[in-house]
Copies of this chain bind each other. A is one copy, B any other.
Amino acid sequence: MANTERVGFIGLGIMGGPMASNILKAGFPLSVWNRSREKAMPLLEAGATLGASPQDVAAQSDIIITMVTASEDVRNGVLGAQGVIHGAAHGSVVVDMSTISPRVTREIGAALAAQGIHMLDAPVSGGDVGARNATLSIMVGGDADIVERVRPVFEAMGKKITHIGPHGAGQTCKLVNQILVVGNNMAMAEALVFAQRAGVDVAKVVEAVGGGAAGSWQLNNLGPRILRRDFAPGFTIRNQQKDLRLALEAADDVGLPLLNTATIHNLFRVLEADGLADEGTQALIKALEKLTGVTVEA
């Protein structure tokens, strides 16, 4: 079956690059734009078209995907000068797959709706590995018929595609995901420091408990890295902090305390102050090690 929807892709970073590549491989006509043009080169060689601006990409596309960093990047790319809104046709769809504020995505969606342009929020989890292997989890907010229209494009990039609810619900789901991720990370860090200080073989302990009620993705995937003192990023502290700011801001919008998440955000700040923002999130344990004088090792 030919894929006839024309796709535009804005933001070809560590995530967006391989995601766009998978869309092209699935047979969609693809035009792309990135602030630095070099990152587009492999896609152009594979058959994509280079747009002159987000506006230009939008003018060539039925579905326009944005995959950038922060709320303001999405706002500028979509609503700014030469932004998507100036090129997108009535009835086209903007799909923001960045992780941004649920409030900001709803504001952008309202501006687009006033021009007859649909919007979905569709943040992802699964990291750069998931982006390359097309195994991302995609959490989608928006109207059901638009979600179904875009589903073939999602399926080119991800494995688990869940329609959570109306526009903004995808971003909220991603923030729930991040609250869980850092909470499980914190539990792991505290448990491993305790194990080390209590004098047991930490690797044996991780192996003994990881498959039961104490198990988590964080423990089973990041625990072994900590034991090797491997703090290379799967996901950086810098990006984790961006997402925690969004969660704390969204909680503040509704007057909700997030005791655990706020504490963890502050512990990550200790590490940022130590110049470790570009290490992986498993380095959270270094904040507890600093507090306690314990070093966890296999």
Contact = CB atoms under 8 A, between A and B. Distances in A.
Contacts of A251: 194, 197
Contact of A187 (B186, B192, B193, B198): B186
Report, nearest first, the 8 A-B pairs whose CB atoms are least far apart.
A183-B187, A180-B214, A216-B216, A162-B208, A179-B191, A177-B209, A177-B214, A172-B198
A229 interface: no
Interface in A177-201: 177-184, 186-188, 190-195, 197-201
A260 B260 contact: yes
A263 B190 CA distance: 12
Nearest to A183: B187
B198 A125 contact: no
A212 interface: yes
Contact of A186 (B173, B191, B247, B260): B260
Contacts of A228: none
Nearest to A207: B162
A297 B207 CA distance: 35
Nearest to A182: B187
Contact of A194 (B181, B214, B247): B247
21 contacts: A160-B208, A160-B212, A165-B200, A165-B201, A169-B201, A172-B198, A172-B200, A173-B200, A173-B205, A177-B208, A177-B214, A180-B188, A180-B219, A184-B184, A186-B187, A190-B259, A190-B261, A194-B247, A194-B258, A213-B218, A256-B292
B209 A180 contact: yes
Interface in A124-160: 125-127, 137, 139, 160
Interface string A43-63: 000000000000000000000
Contact of A212 (B125, B194, B204): B125
Interface residues of A, number: 68
A195 to B, nearest CB: 5
A162 B175 CA distance: 37
A1 interface: no
Contacts of A26: none
A173 B191 CA distance: 10
Nearest to A267: B259
A110 to B, nearest CB: 17
A205 B256 contact: no
Interface in A229-268: 235, 247, 250-251, 254, 256-261, 263
A247 B208 CA distance: 18
A102 B188 CA distance: 20
A195 B213 CA distance: 23
Contacts of A254: 197-198
A254 B200 CA distance: 13
Given A200-B165, A217-B216, A218-B213, A187 B187 contact: yes
